[in-house]
A and B are shown apart, each in its own frame.
Chain A
Amino acid sequence: MTRLELEPLPPRPPPPPAAAPAPDGEGSPWAWRAGCAAAGVLTLGVLFSSFNPTFGFFLKDRGFDAQRWPWLLFQDTNGGARLDWMPQQAYVLSLLLAGLCLLACSVMTRSLLRAALCVTSLVLVTAVVMPSSDEYMLLAAAQAGLALLAGGVLADGRGLEGTGARRAAGVGCMLLALFLVLPYPDDKQLALDNPLVDQPYESPLSVTFSDLARTVRGEMQAAVPGGGMRDVHLGDWAGAHLLDLPVLLALLLGVLALLGRGGRWAGPALLVLLLVGTLGPCVMRALQEAAAYRSGMPDAEETVADLVAVHGRNATQAYLLGLRAACLPMALSVAELLRRR
């Protein structure tokens, strides 16, 4: 009987270390890069929409002539360099640097420099678009909540296991929930001028649902630009609530993500909701005001340039309300800062 010689078994590999506290994960790199590119293009778009020879509108109410290209602001009449520090230069420099930083981030590999550029772009944009008007403060709260939620989920696409990402998403969800139930005055200007006057206060959530119920029942009517009323359909309802609907959907998606049911598409989906929530109302306003413009001058011959001017100016002005223009950089910065290095 031959003795079976067995090769000694290789040493057993050491057991894996005990489950470490969940780190912040990789998130969705392609969605983050796409978001950066979109944010860069939008930021530069705002800049060139505010200053251009066709419909530049920056500080028009203060008599400033913005109908010229932004680089001309840095030249004096003799063609030399002009180094004033005026509102227009601050605005142009902030948006230009922020846009370029965001575009650079979209092509850079992950590094400390990329994180620094991303956060710098957020600071530059926030400093010039932070609302000073009281009217848009609560709107800005909802937009910040949406950005925090999207940033948190984008930082960690694997079921929000990372502590920081989970916290950011949680804070965003709570902020959105509080925004939806906070009572708003029907007439904000009246409330500001005379707080003792009685007027109805409703939360965005109740307004959304009561408008939906009235639309479904066929009781909702809207004024048309030429005078008179017309029935409101579901499409109009969705258009009128283009901020509240993405907030509501984002809240649901955020809760699912916090419960570990978001899946890997939660981050990109939240980015899309953020874009719809910030750009949707701008597009709607541009279309509505363009329709009003056309109905006011039915015989006017519109060129493509006219339409671009009217739509571009209105959409940009709407995009500058609240924190809309800072929403995307905020989400991307949160995601970048919360990722594991």
Chain B
Amino acid sequence: MDATGPSTTQPGARRSPPLASAGAMMLAAALLMANPFFGASSTSWPWEVLARARSPLLVANWLVWLGAGLLAVVLGLRGRDTGRGTVLAALALLLGFTCHSKLAGLRIEENSLAVNAGISLLMAGFLLQAWGLGDRAARVLSALGGLLVVWTLACAFDYPSGAPPRSQLVVKVHDLVSRLVGGDVLMDLPNYDEHLASAAALLLASALGMLALLGVRGRLSGSLGVVMLVATFAIRPVCTFSRVVAAEGFDAVTFARHVSEVLVTMGMAWCVFMSVVIVDLAQDRRDASGGAA
């Protein structure tokens, strides 16, 4: 392991601190959602939630989430290449499909599965760029993720009453440009500028991802892309929390709830986990083919 990312020299003994960190983030997110002190969705420990749950699907969702997190921590620190990428990718994909369903115990509500899948691909591509690994994989993943996010937003329509349907991409771009030149916006939401800032970060990251195909890639653009994707998730909760702190002072419980909202409800934990698993798989392939990927 070097200072910037996972080691590329010894595939048989490769430890992956990013994978272990992503696993720890998943476990932390679950504990923030369910704990007796400041649980966002339950004031019991996760195992008590599991013991009480009536829906086996909800239990399965919690178990897969916790199991994936624990396995990522153990396999990431253990450092032996025993097909960990395969197992973790399958668990991550299953979580992706189940957590976007209303039947799930740990629900992702912010974006659709297609957008979050695009964000995961983008983040994986940016991480590979930032760590200087897998040029071809980084290029393909960044471009694919960017295209998926942009086209999904273009094809997702809101149906306001009494008005024609509006593409989410068109609304976001129109409102961003309008705000910049001082015009009127189409949406009327409280604290809409925070939504717009988050959307701007996502659209810029997508554009940067697609530019990778044209040769705009490297450590700087990779790092910039990762920062923009983190900002996509973090801007709104940080602004909301700042307002709460300004009005009521700092409160650890509120802080923990906001963090759990970013990690679980907005889908950041799953996106980071999925992207780190994709990076691990890309590295495996690169190591096996002698660094040609």
Residue A91 contacts which of B55, B98, B155 (CB distance < 8 angstroms)?
Answer: B155
A134 contacts partner chain B, Cβ-Cβ < 8 Å: yes
Within 8 Å by CB of B112, from A22, A132, A191, A195, lies: A132
0/1 string, B92-117, CB within 8 A of A gives 1: 01100110111100000000111000
CB of B94 within 8 A of CB of A90, answer no
Whether a CB of chain A sits under 8 angstroms from the CB of B151 is yes
B98-A141 in contact (CB<8A): yes
Q: Is A130 an interface residue (CB 8 A)?
A: yes
Known contacts: A124-B151, A167-B281, A175-B93. The answer to whether A138 contacts B86 by CB under 8 A is no
Which parts of B50-79 form the interface with A (CB within 8 Å)? 54-58, 60, 64
Known contacts: A134-B103, A167-B285. The answer to whether A175 contacts B147 by CB under 8 A is: no
B45 contacts partner chain A, Cβ-Cβ < 8 Å: no
A62-B170 Cα distance, complex, nearest whole Å: 21
Closest 3 CB pairs of A and B: A174-B90, A141-B97, A183-B56
Asked if A307 lies at the interface with its beta carbon under 8 angstroms from chain B, I say: no
**Is A265 part of the binding interface, using a Cβ–Cβ cutoff of 8 Å?**
no
Q: Is A201 a contact of B56 with CB atoms below 8 Å? A: yes
Inter-subunit contact B290/A21 (CB<8 Å):
yes
Interface contact tally, CB-CB below 8 A: 129
Known: A134-B101, A141-B93, A179-B94. 13 other contacts (CB 8 A): A86-B157, A119-B144, A126-B114, A127-B155, A130-B112, A130-B113, A171-B86, A171-B89, A174-B90, A192-B102, A195-B58, A196-B54, A201-B57
B288:A130 contact, CB within 8 angstroms:
no
Q: List, sorted by A's number, 22 A–B pairs whose CB atoms are closer than 8 Å.
A: A21-B287, A87-B157, A91-B155, A119-B144, A123-B147, A123-B148, A124-B151, A130-B114, A130-B152, A131-B113, A132-B112, A137-B113, A138-B98, A141-B93, A141-B97, A167-B86, A182-B94, A183-B60, A191-B55, A195-B103, A198-B54, A201-B57
**CA distance in complex: A91, B156 (Å):** 10
| Contact residues in B for A185 (Cβ distance below 8 Å) | 55, 57, 103
> How many residues on chain A are close to B (CB under 8 Å)?
50
Nearest Cβ distance between residue B29 and chain A, in whole angstroms? 20
Given contacts A94-B155, A120-B147, contact A87 B97 (CB under 8 A): no
Contact of B103 among A123, A127, A178, A188 (CB under 8 A): A188
- Give Cα distance in the complex from A124 to B150, angstroms: 10
Q: Would you call A85 an interface residue if the criterion is a C-beta within 8 Å of the partner chain's C-beta atoms?
A: yes
Chain A residues in 8 Å Cβ range of B160:
none
Contact across chains for B93 and A94 when beta carbons are under 8 A apart: no
Bound state CA distance, A337 and B113, in angstroms? Answer: 22
Tell yes or no: B164 within 8 A of A by CB: yes
